[in-house]
Amino acid sequence: MLVPSCPTMHRARPTLLLLPPLLLLIQGLLLHLADAQTPPKFLRTPNDQTGVQGGVASFICQATGDPQPKIVWNKKGKRVSNQRFEVVIEFSDGSGSVLRIQPLRTPRDEAIYECVASNSVGETSATTRLTVLRGRSFVISPPNPQRKKLKQKQKTKQSNTHTPLTCTSLYL
């Protein structure tokens, strides 16, 4: 008895022979992807802040990428240099930095600040705004707890025993 040839068997053999080279190709691609360089991507970006004259502002910026991105801070488009009032503190692992501004002064420190993360593959940036408020002292009195609402058409009883408080008002 003769067994007819099976066309599917003949087609399967070349596929089996190609399978090991295909696996090697896939393995090589996966290893290449694991070693691929990546552009910077932010893990943390700085937030807008409002501070009081004489106070402190700190902005945090952190990025990842391969190779590890370098973080640079700009103020009004120009690189921030370490000065007595603007200090850049690098993270120990190199992934980010903190821009610390102290003491805050207006109008000197009011600006748009930019965190730039760059490596050999690319660059990305994030901006933030710092607003600095000036303080002004004035005297206020606490509300009189014995005072009744005029809307209720009742007589208002006032006391002359207010204790003045000194406060600081903030204005732009």
Model confidence over 103-143: pLDDT tens digits? 999 899 999 999 999 999 999 999 999 999 997 544 444 55
Q: Are 59 and 99 in contact (CB under 8 A)?
A: yes
Task: Check if the beta carbon of residue 110 is closer than 8 Å to that of residue 131.
Answer: yes
Which whole-number Å values give the CA distances from 50 to 80, 93, 96, 120, 129, in the listed order? 19, 29, 22, 35, 8
Residues paired with residue 171 on neighbouring β-strands, in sequence order:
134
8 located within any domain: no
Q: What pLDDT score was predicted for residue 168?
A: 46
Q: For residue 44, give both structure tokens.
A: 């943390």
* 50/11: higher pLDDT: 50
Question: Is 67 part of any domain?
Answer: yes
Count of structural domains within the chain: 1
Domain annotation covers residue 30: no
Query: Does residue 109 lie in a domain region?
Result: yes
- Residue 114 belongs to a domain: yes
Q: Which domain holds residue 125?
A: 38-136
Judge contact between 52 and 170, C-beta under 8 A: yes
pLDDT over threshold 70, residue 51: yes
148 within some domain: no
pTM of the model: 0.60
pLDDT score recorded for residue 127: 97
- Let me know: does 100 contact 113? Beta carbons within 8 Å: no
Q: Is residue 122 included in any domain, yes or no?
A: yes
CATH number assigned to the domain comprising residue 80: 2.60.40.10
Query: Does an H or E element contain 78, and which?
Result: strand 78-79
* Angle formed at CA 126 by CA 125 and CA 130, multiple of 5 degrees: 140
Indicate whether 100 belongs to any domain.
Answer: yes
